[in-house]
């Protein structure tokens, strides 16, 4: 069993990461679990820049292997927003029910039938020798008119991903198979045997 520190304090995200990685005998622990009181400023302009900022900051502190992801929701009729600002969309203190409502209203104000959107994810893995590896995942879908389902987290209840179901209506297995994070993590997992040899 390999233990890797994940640059996240989001329990929903950590659960999802661990669910996918357990098949590869890897357990991820959070910064909170390791009692690392670091505040990481995500001021990059892209998902990749933010993922690298998180991974490099954590690796500098721990000196060991770390994993970080940055992900977000990109709505085509909004020019790709909220994008890298997904978690902060509507303000740090706004809960996701209000964020989703705001997003639906903003799309309706565009006066378009285009509700297409995608979730994007960039995973960065830094090994003990400070070598960096970057993996990408994307899940296409569309924004629903109202939240449905009680699974997942974040914008999952508003993102229609498969067979007319939102991410929050899918089982964990169904979600992991098609999700942006699942795709990026599987690419990392497939590359790990070679990475470990280096």
Residue corresponding to tokens 């590869």: 24
Residue 59 CA to residue 38 CA, distance in Å, equals 12
Q: Is 140 a catalytic residue?
A: no
Catalytic residue among 25, 43, 69, 70: 70
Q: Is the peptide bond before 82 cis (omega within 30 degrees of 0)?
A: yes
Nearest to 87 by CA among 104, 110, 71, 102: 71
Residue corresponding to tokens 């409502």: 101
What is the set of active-site residues?
Answer: 70
């Amino acid at each position: 069993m390999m233990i890797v520190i994940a640059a996240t304090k989001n329990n929903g995200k950590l659960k999802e990461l661990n669910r996918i990685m357990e098949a590869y005998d890897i357990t991820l622990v959070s910064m909170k679990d390791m009692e690392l009181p670091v505040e990481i400023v995500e001021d990059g302009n892209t998902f990749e820049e933010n993922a690298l900022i998180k991974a490099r900051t954590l690796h500098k502190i721990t000196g060991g292997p770390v994993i970080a992801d940055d992900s977000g929701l990109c709505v085509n009729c909004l020019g790709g927003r909220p994008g890298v600002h997904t978690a902060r969309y509507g303000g740090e203190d706004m809960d996701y029910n209000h964020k989703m409502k705001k997003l639906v209203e903003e799309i309706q104000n565009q006066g378009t039938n285009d509700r297409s959107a995608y979730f994007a994810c960039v995973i960065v893995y830094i090994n003990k020798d400070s070598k960096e590896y970057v993996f990408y995942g994307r899940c296409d879908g569309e924004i629903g008119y109202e939240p449905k389902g009680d699974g997942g987290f974040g914008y999952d209840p508003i993102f229609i991903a498969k067979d007319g179901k939102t991410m929050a209506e899918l089982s964990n297995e169904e979600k992991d198979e098609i999700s942006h994070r699942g795709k990026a993590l599987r690419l990392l997992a497939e590359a790990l045997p070679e990475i470990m040899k280096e």
